Amino acid sequence: MDNQKIAIIGLGRIGSAFLRNMLGRRERGVELVAVAESGDTPGRQLALDAGLAVRTLDQIVALGDGVDILFDLTGIPAVRREIREKLMAMGNHHTVIASETIARLIWAMTTDDDLPVIAGRSTGY
């Protein structure tokens, strides 16, 4: 099986937990190519400790088809719109944007731990 090259945008409570889970899946076909987090979060430090590139959204989009799945775990609809617009502007028809809903599904299939819940946060596409 080919590795799935993923990037994670947003390493708050949900993104940090998801990153930790994905780091444990590296031997199972998951290749973490980059993360984006502007704040000083535990998830950002986890990424740095794991040797991951912490980049800007623009730098991740510039990777083009070097990213198969881009997980937007910011919880900010404007960020998801920005990602879509930037991918379209680059002519990137390869990278799939996965929302928090997809991350929760993957989480449920890969661990029995609870993924953090943020009250009032929309998880739709």
With respect to residue 121, please indicate whether it lies within any of the assigned structural domains.
no
Reading phi first (left if > 0) and then psi (alpha if -120 to 50, else beta), residue 46 is in: alpha
Residue 89 lies in a domain: yes
Measured between alpha carbons, how far apart are the two ends of the chain, in Å?
A: 28
Reported as a single tens digit per residue, the pLDDT across 44-61 is 999 999 999 899 999 999
- Give the confidence band of 125 by pLDDT, cuts at 50, 70, 90: low
Segment 62-75 shows an average pLDDT of 94
Residue 115 lies inside a defined structural domain of this protein:
no
pLDDT band at 28 (very low <50, low <70, confident <90, very high): confident
Q: What is the CATH number of the domain that holds 37?
A: 3.40.50.720
Total number of domains constituting the chain: 1
Tell me the pTM. 0.88
> 12 lies in a domain?
yes
- Name the pLDDT band for 122 (thresholds 50, 70, 90): low
Angle between helices 42-49 and 13-23 (to 10 degrees): 20
In a domain, 92, yes or no: yes
Residue 119 located in a structural domain? no
Range of the structural domain that residue 86 is part of: 2-107
Give the chain's mean pLDDT: 88
